[in-house]
Amino acid sequence: MNSPMNKKHVLVIGDIMLDKYHYGSSSRRSPEADVPVLDLNETRSGAGGAANVALCLAHLDLNVSLIGIIGKDHNGTELKNLLQNNSNFIDINLIEDPDRPTTTKTRIISDQKHLLRIDKENKNEITETQQSIILDHLIEGHKSDTYQAVILQDYDKGIFSESLIEKILNFCQKRGVKTLIDPKHKNFFSYQSPTLFKPNLNELGVALNKNLNTHSVEDITKELSKLKAKIQASFYLITMSSNGILLHHEGKTLYQKAHQIQNPDVCGAGDAVLAAASKALIDNLSIEQMLKLCNRAGYLSCLEVGVHPEALKKMTKKTPSLYEDIKIKYV
């Protein structure tokens, strides 16, 4: 493995969260209410959201820094410990806010099927002081160890304002740092001229006020012209769950079907795809290679229930791609 100083460095800024999983089996109904009873077998926790993107990057053998907000609570401490136990990180900057809880998603899973998800969060926008701290971390971090790319992972949990987005992108663009965006609904059109813009099909449809789930690949490609006029990115990467993935760059649109999985779990798949796209951009891969890498990352992420960034370790092995037999379609 390369020494940390020889690796390429990516900064992830975004909404981080703690993912909790309660696994068990359910074969009976509660006598108290018409709901299933879970016989609990296992409980585990993982780092989710922007933290999962960072972990995916670390498992792709990149140096990673992370900036995010946590609460001053037990879940925040657990999340911090999970991240600090990963030796691939150079720098973890978790800003503690005593007035908000650590964003936590608790999933109840019975026999590999999700029964329920419980969310604990505060979606209010972070303070101007906290936004300034984030900018300071970005500026100082870039001075000490130049970033090849900065990822903005937006889950509408409050870390991004229009002003902060603009300042981050301006800083990166002036210094030639690649920027990759995973948008949500609130700030969708606030991300101007990034290197790569990666909405999923549902997010794109909401932004364009259209139900794109029934559209053909050719029709979705036509809709990209509206997005390009507003965002002006260099790359557009559209994830379409089990229907595959679409990549557009400089007038060329590529599509590849997804590798079919029985009962896939899509938790964290978008994070894995974004990490793979970062790796491809930094390594100057062709758009065909980028598409295959992203598709494989999504596949590996969906094989197990829950978020498993360590699955991307398989991406660094010199083995034939699972997607060599799935043809790329030029739309």
Residue 140: pLDDT band with limits 50, 70, 90: very high
pLDDT in tens, 51-86: 999 998 988 888 999 999 999 999 999 999 988 887
* 320 confidence band (pLDDT: 50, 70, 90): very low
**The pLDDT of residue 2:** 38
- Averaged pLDDT, 196-222: 91
CATH code, 8: 3.40.1190.20
Domain that residue 207 falls in = 4-15+49-101+123-326
Judge whether 44 lies within some domain: no
* Phi/psi at 258 (5° precision): -85, 150
The residues near 14 (Cβ < 8 Å, ≥ 6 apart) are 49, 50, 53, 67, 68, 151, 152, 153, 154, 155, 159, 160, 182
| pLDDT at residue 5 greater than cutoff 80 | no
For 94, list phi and psi in degrees, rounded to 5. -105, 115
Confirm whether 34 is domain-assigned. no
Q: Is residue 108 part of a domain?
A: no
pLDDT digits (tens, 9 = 90+) for 12-34: 999 999 999 999 999 999 999 99
Residue 192's contacts (CB-CB under 8 Å, 6 or more residues apart) are 166, 169, 231, 232
How far apart are alpha carbons 155 and 158 in whole angstroms?
A: 8
pLDDT band at 88 (very low <50, low <70, confident <90, very high): low
**How far is the C-alpha of 238 from the C-alpha of 244, rounded, in Å?**
9
Mean pLDDT to the nearest integer, 190-198: 97
Residue 297 maps to a domain:
yes
pLDDT of residue 203: 94
Whether the Cβ atoms of residue 117 and residue 108 lie closer than 8 Å to each other = yes
Active site residues: 271
In this prediction, residues 122-144 reach a mean pLDDT of: 94
How confident is residue 297, by pLDDT bands cut at 50, 70 and 90? confident
Tally of structural domains, the chain? 1
% of the chain surpassing 70 pLDDT: 87
* Strands annotated E in 157-264: 178-182, 196-197, 235-239, 245-249, 252-256
Residue 311 in domain: yes
pLDDT value of residue 158? 95
Mean pLDDT of 32-54: 93
Q: Is the pLDDT of residue 4 over 90?
A: no
CA 290 from chain centre, in angstroms, equals 16
